[in-house]
Structures are given as C-alpha cells and as structure tokens.
Amino acid sequence: MAVAAVAAADAPDRGSIVVTLADGTSVPLRNWSLSYEYSVYRPGTSPMGAPTARKEAADLFVGKRALPTAGQTLTIAYDGPRVKEITLAGADARKNTLKVEPPARDLLVASPEKGTAVMPRSLDLRGETVTGTRRDFCVLSYTMVVECGVTPADRVVKIEFQR
C-alpha cells in the first residue's frame, strides 16, 4: 500500500481525465499517464520472450509523432474486436483522424543499445480513481500477443483529457 501511495505521489499532476467504456461506464481518473509497453530484443531472438519495459507519457505517440493530449478528446472506433481508427479532437472541434500506428522506437527508448530492436506491444492508460484505487485500461494493442477490450466493460471508446 505504501508503494502505491509513493507511486501516486511521484506521478506528475496532469489534471483529471474521463474514460468512457463501451458498456457506457465513465471512470474519472487523476494522476494518469499513457503507458507504452514494449520489448527490447536482439535480432535473431524472439521478441515474445524478451523482457518488457514501459514508457510513461502525457502525449499520444502515433508513428514518429508525439501529439499533445491536453484539452483533447480521443475517440476510438472499432471494427469488431480490433481498433479501426482513432480520432483526436480539440475544444475548437477540429478533428484529426489517425490510423493505428505503433510508436517509433526513438519515442520509446531514448538511446537504444546498438544492435537491438524495439517492439511496441500496447498502449495502456493508468491512473487513480477519486477513491484512490489504481486502475489500468488497455487502450490499443500493437501486436497479437496483447488483447485489449475483450468485453464492453474493458473496451475504452473515449478519453477526455482536461486542460
């Protein structure tokens, strides 16, 4: 319990967000971060068996771009169980529709060791509810190894980022 309190205290205060799930549930979170899970491996070895690491951020990483989320609404459209596209819309109602693209290795690993490869696995949303409970939501999967939003109660359809 003390470790969770320390972790929450160390998280930067980015304001609050509201997560909407496919079953209609809305979950407000504070002390949140977008958490990118990835593995670093050597060519010739399996990325599936490689140890995983995480990059915590406030920005949405799409390909080589780091898109700011403050004041934005992220909407996730599905085609069956798979994410079809994501839309980032600002308060000015301008929408930016994006295809699902794994983050570039430079966004995940500041200075990768020579001769290694990086495989993005998933984008998770981590935060704390108003009662102090830590919650993690799997938002996007970049590989078949990770399944996100199997049930409507787990499927994130919208994230409203406050300013």
Give the number of other Cβ atoms within 10 Å of residue 130's Cβ. Answer: 10
pLDDT, tens digit (0-9, with 9 covering 90-100), for 29-39: 999 999 999 99
Nearest-angstrom CA–CA distance, 87 and 102? 15
Read off the pLDDT band of 103 (50, 70, 90). very high
Domain positions in the chain: 14-161
Give the tens place of pLDDT for each residue, 108-136: 998 888 889 999 999 999 999 999 999 99
Which of the pair, 82 or 74, is modelled with greater confidence? 74
Considering the entire predicted model, what is its pTM? 0.87
